Amino acid sequence: MFYQAKNGQVQIGEQVMEYISFGKGARKLIMLPGLGDGLKTAKGMAIPFALLYRQFAKDFTVYVCSRKNNLPEGYTIAQMAKDQAEAMEKLGMDCADIIGVSQGGAIAQELALTYPDKVGKLILVVTFAGQNTTLQTLMEKWIEMARKEEYAKLMIDNFENSYSEGYLKKYRMFYPIITKIGKPRSFDRFIIQAQSILTHNARERLAEIFHPTLIVGGRQDKIVTVEESLQMAETIPNSELYIYEDFGHGLYEEGKDFIPRVLEFLKN
């Protein structure tokens, strides 16, 4: 029932990493979420994720992994990748295909570069390899909102920068509800994760990624920009690129063919 969905934890040093799993396939697939993980971990989300990504459940056992619960100041994306590699070992995974979305894509890059034997196929979705003015400006604004605990402003700004106008017209009416649900007790975890984005730079090493890689970007991306996807596709040797012309950072939710497209890449 519900695609064998389970909530779990794995010990990473003195900290705990939340994860969920679902599916019964022989192949392992890890999904690494974006900066939203700084506000809410995967804890308790097994059934919703299993239903949303049920198309993966037949061929894969899927793991959605958060960052560990308590993050130290100065925690980097490279350290997040190290923790993820340790989590894979403790969960009995020698190798897995990796889907990284936004910040999760930056972690996926580091996994492929530093622990290449642990990665099969690589899917990099609306992600970045280093700094650009758009990304830096937005992260600084969100960090300031988080420091002031302006949760409603932070959520609305995230929505407005992530989705197409057609999508927003349907969902703006729910802002009063969305902005009252899920407010964290502390914004420290979000701030530390956002700061790690400001220091990430893998541009000079991307050519070392040899894994079959699918890069998915959105022409209307107001957060990382489509140029990041284009540059990664030019640099990663064994890669293919798909750009959603009408969508931005939330294309993995808006693009009806996103999951079938990823599945086709993984199975071929």
What average pLDDT does the segment 64-89 reach? 97
Alpha helices in the chain (DSSP H): 46-52, 77-90, 103-114, 133-147, 151-162, 165-171, 175-178, 188-199, 226-235, 251-254, 258-267
Instruction: Label residue 2 by pLDDT band (50, 70, 90).
Output: confident
What average pLDDT does the segment 79-93 reach? 97
- Rounded to whole angstroms, the Cα distance separating 156 from 176 reads 10
Instruction: Label residue 1 by pLDDT band (50, 70, 90).
Output: low
What average pLDDT does the segment 120-138 reach? 97
Tell me what pLDDT residue 173 has: 96
- In angstroms and rounded to an integer, the radius of gyration of the C-alpha atoms of the chain is 17
Instruction: Label residue 262 by pLDDT band (50, 70, 90).
Output: very high
Only one residue has tokens 């996807």, namely: 229
pTM for this structure?
Answer: 0.97
Asked if residue 62 has pLDDT above 90, the reply is: yes
Tell me what pLDDT residue 194 has: 98
How confident is the model over 19-60, as pLDDT tens digits? 999 999 999 999 999 999 999 999 999 999 999 999 999 999
Only one residue has tokens 């993966």, namely: 56
- Rounded to whole angstroms, the Cα distance separating 54 from 48 reads 10
How confident is the model over 171-199, as pLDDT tens digits? 999 999 989 888 998 999 999 999 999 99
Asked if residue 139 has pLDDT above 70, the reply is: yes
Tell me what pLDDT residue 127 has: 98
**Average pLDDT of every residue of the chain:** 96
Domains of the chain in sequence order:
2-267 (3.40.50.1820)
- Rounded to whole angstroms, the Cα distance separating 49 from 91 reads 19
56: its two tokens: 């993966």
